[in-house]
Amino acid sequence: MSMKHRKLFAAFLLSTSIILSGIAMAAGRDNPKPLIIQEQGSFAVGGTVVKHPGTYDNRNFNNWNPIPEGQTYHGDHAYVFYQIPVKARKLPLVFLHGAGQSSKTWESTPDGREGFQNIFLRRQFGVYLIDQPRRGKAGRSTVATAIDPTPNEQMWYDIFRVGLWPDYFPNVQFPRDAESLNQYFRQMTPNTGPFDLELVSATTAELFDKTGPGILVTHSQGGLPGWYAGIKNTNIKAVVAYEPGSYVFPEGELPEPMPSLTGDLSGRAVPVDDFMKLTKIPIVLYFGDNIPEEPSEQLGAENWRVRLQLGRKFVDTVNKYGGDATLVELPKIGIYGNTHFPFSDLNNVQIADLLSDWMKEKGIDKYK
């Protein structure tokens, strides 16, 4: 938002001391069985160190104004919170969020039910939740940025396919109370530095040096760095992508950019040898409902129409090279109303069941 916009801004602040009734308690009630966690913790992974030239002088400070001479700045790392249940399965799940989100994506749902973090802990998977570099608790960026509170939530409501603002899609798997929408908007959190595909894919890949062999689960914008991470680290034994934003293709086989109302969607070309690494592991993509085949005048429909269609090409290309990629379009298997966040939608246990079944089918859900 420009300064001009901001000055025109007859912004009124609505106090939202809304009664957050019962959210904290909801998860427990639905799942009276306790989680039994062998260990949990958090750490930073990857990143760089900037060092300013000169010599730090302990006495050279001015109140709280930093004097950078000889000082360092650690940034561009990812932050990871992990929990390992007792009797865990061999391969943990590593979750990478999408644009404007953090690891919160995988925690409690907007209406306070359990998200994939808890659901898969209960199913005896180790769970690692990433805040990508320059997001959430991994906020230190080596690149300066401006954060601007531009009102844009109606756009996100449309793009996330909750409905066509202010309406909900008639079949939508999203709770319709005001407090759930309040929580949904508040789980967004800004970039504290520019989104950097290489950084996100590198830190995600590096995390798997720590976890050992595991399964990467991505969402949306996390999809593209997820494919690159799968190329970079053979400890990634499978990739699960919920509505990925884009895709890699072998050099020479990159599809033409796909025009849409939200811009031209392009994949990325990678060397054939790199692409081949994605043919060695099982891959599954899930897409929700209300995505049309034909061009639309709706923002969300239009945004995901091309990403779904490019996803089909990606899956076909992986399989053409001998890989094992599956694209699940939920409405085509009779599951309706899912938004861009199937893993936190009202039917997220059913969505988790699909993933469990797929992991079982691929033999990647075994115990140690």
State which H helix or E strand residue 180 sits in: helix 178-186
**Residue 258 binds its own copies, judged by CB under 8 A:** no
Is residue 315 within 8 Å of 326, Cβ to Cβ?
A: yes
**Residue 104 binds its own copies, judged by CB under 8 A:** yes
What CA–CA distance (Å, rounded) separates 44 from 205?
A: 13
Provide the minimum distance between the beta carbon of 192 and its own copies in the complex, in angstroms, as a whole number: 5
Angle, to 10 degrees, between the axis of helix 223-232 and the axis of helix 197-211?
Answer: 50
Exposed (0-12), middle (13-18) or buried (19+): which is 112, by Cβ within 10 Å? Answer: buried
| 27: amino acid identity, one letter | A
What CA–CA distance (Å, rounded) separates 59 from 216?
A: 48
**Residue 144 binds its own copies, judged by CB under 8 A:** yes
Task: Give the pair of three-digit tokens for residue 128.
Answer: 């690692």
What CA–CA distance (Å, rounded) separates 42 from 74?
A: 17
Closest to its own copies by CB, 13 vs 333, is: 13
Q: Which residues contact 62 (CB under 8 A, 6 or more apart)?
A: none
20-39 residues near its own copies, rule: CB under 8 A = 20, 23-28, 31, 34-39
**Residue 334 binds its own copies, judged by CB under 8 A:** no
Task: Give the pair of three-digit tokens for residue 51.
Answer: 């060092």
64-103 residues near its own copies, rule: CB under 8 A = 64, 66-68, 70-75, 77, 79, 81-82, 84, 86, 102-103
Provide the minimum distance between the beta carbon of 263 and its own copies in the complex, in angstroms, as a whole number: 4
297-316 residues near its own copies, rule: CB under 8 A = 297-299
Is residue 351 within 8 Å of 286, Cβ to Cβ?
A: yes
Which one among 42, 319, 347, 350 touches its own copies, defined by CB under 8 A?
Answer: 42
Provide the minimum distance between the beta carbon of 321 and its own copies in the complex, in angstroms, as a whole number: 30
Provide the minimum distance between the beta carbon of 95 and its own copies in the complex, in angstroms, as a whole number: 14
Provide the minimum distance between the beta carbon of 317 and its own copies in the complex, in angstroms, as a whole number: 26
Pairing assessment for the beta strands 324-329 and 282-287 based on DSSP bridges: parallel
**Residue 11 binds its own copies, judged by CB under 8 A:** yes
Provide the minimum distance between the beta carbon of 3 and its own copies in the complex, in angstroms, as a whole number: 9
Three-class SS state of 367 = strand
Q: Is the peptide bond before 342 cis (omega within 30 degrees of 0)?
A: no
- Candidates 144-152, 245-253, 279-287, 312-320: pick the segment binding its own copies (CB under 8 A): 144-152
Pairing assessment for the beta strands 72-75 and 78-85 based on DSSP bridges: unpaired
Question: How many chain residues bind its own copies (CB under 8 A)?
Answer: 115
Which one among 93, 94, 107, 174 touches its own copies, defined by CB under 8 A?
Answer: 107
Closest to its own copies by CB, 305 vs 330, is: 305
Task: Give the pair of three-digit tokens for residue 337.
Answer: 């109303």
Closest to its own copies by CB, 118 vs 173, is: 118
Which one among 41, 170, 252, 322 touches its own copies, defined by CB under 8 A?
Answer: 41
Is residue 89 within 8 Å of 125, Cβ to Cβ?
A: yes
Is residue 182 within 8 Å of 16, Cβ to Cβ?
A: yes
Closest to its own copies by CB, 66 vs 292, is: 66
- Candidates 45-53, 240-248, 273-281, 326-334: pick the segment binding its own copies (CB under 8 A): 45-53
154-193 residues near its own copies, rule: CB under 8 A = 154-155, 158, 164-165, 182-183, 185-190, 192-193
- Candidates 204-212, 251-259, 276-284, 344-352: pick the segment binding its own copies (CB under 8 A): 204-212
Is residue 159 within 8 Å of 300, Cβ to Cβ?
A: yes
- Candidates 217-225, 282-290, 296-304, 331-339: pick the segment binding its own copies (CB under 8 A): 296-304
Three-class SS state of 53 = coil
262-291 residues near its own copies, rule: CB under 8 A = 262-263
